[in-house]
Structure 1
């Protein structure tokens, strides 16, 4: 079998959830079921204290499984819980400041690339990755066609890796991989999967192992 690093890899986005213990259980099962490159933890509507408490519970689980734990938005929480990185949706100048402050000690990735112009502005800041789509943007079974088109354009000319938001259907991983994207992000497609998060991760990796194009060395 081809090494997992040679094809598109899975990124998980933790859902909102009301119960941290339940979230931790689902995440632990997902991480134990197959290759996961990283996990992004958004704050959603939690206040800072509750968000930090959630991060303190989940970040060690992520890291122990060998994945990178990325905190969305809050650099203070990221520092306190010793996360591996930050996921930011910010103006280009704010992104530059964050990269200067936190990289290379921490991964600094960027969302908010709604079109080619915005993507190129973000790219000038040299983040560790660019994210096409919204963290909660998986509202249909398939990945959004605009994000797939942006990824195909980006991957053909820019070396900075990209993550593309998948749809709710497991099979939506394949069109993302075929776009040339290095990573495919799943949210509801994993955490709301009828057979559980472990089954979802196994099935996504099986699709990618069997059908995803391989990157050139």
Structure 2
């Protein structure tokens, strides 16, 4: 459950991994502050993905966690999600924002260079995501994502999310870039982990080490 006043530092964004059950995802919500949850389809067909999201969205929203559906605006609308995550070119991002911005937040990802990020940023998405779903299989975050996140956080007002590694301690490295959000997936949901305990531990690390933002 989130506090009414969120912490004034880098916050957690969870990304549901492949093969996770709805119950496993929801178990993380009691671990402390979570800003949002991104749900990729992870290879599920539309009906399975929608059913999966329908189990999670109301539980997350009741806990004060915004839910973002990756890639499918129809399912995002059907499950009453808070946002849509898209990885596309500038023109299609602009069309998506024009069509849906009054209904839900729109986040952008997929940029691998500063020029690509700036091009997408011209359309004013609600956030920029640096990383790739499912590629947090090393303990440390990818150096390119860290570099892009640090540059973006210093230069651009649009918030950014940077993908962490498979080790919970990597939240400290991401927070040090100045990024507003750190994305966690395998560090919370890998086999044998307690998602609630992992989120709680990540919040402790962020409380202890993350720089505070100016009001």
TM range (shorter): over 0.9
Specify the SS of the correspondent of 2:169.
helix
1:105 positional shift? 2.5
> Which of the numbers 161, 173, 178 marks the counterpart of 1:175?
173
Residues 104 and 180 of structure 1: is their aligned pair in 2 closer, same or farther, counting only changes over 3 Å?
Answer: farther
1:154: which partner in 2?
A: 152
TM-score by length of 1: 0.94
1:30: which partner in 2?
A: 28
Comparing 135-144 and 188-197, the one that deviates more:
188-197
State whether structure 2 residue 4 is matched by structure 1 residue 6: no
Specify the SS of the correspondent of 1:35.
coil
Specify the SS of the correspondent of 1:160.
coil
TM-score by length of 2: 0.95
1:193 positional shift? 6.1
> Which of the numbers 54, 67, 70 marks the counterpart of 1:69?
67
Give distance in 1, aligned partners of 2:100 and 2:185. Answer: 26
5 Å matches for 1:98-177?
98-177=96-175
Residues 105 and 5 of structure 1: is their aligned pair in 2 closer, same or farther, counting only changes over 3 Å?
Answer: farther
| Off by >2 Å, runs of 4+ in structure 1 | none
Corresponding residue pairs, total: 211
Cα deviation digits, residues 17-70 of structure 1 (max 9, x gap) = 16xxxx222222210110000000001211111111111111111111110010
Give distance in 2, aligned partners of 1:123 and 1:135. Answer: 20
Give distance in 2, aligned partners of 1:107 and 1:10. Answer: 17
1:188 positional shift? 0.6
Give distance in 1, aligned partners of 2:16 and 2:48. Answer: 15
1:81: which partner in 2?
A: 79
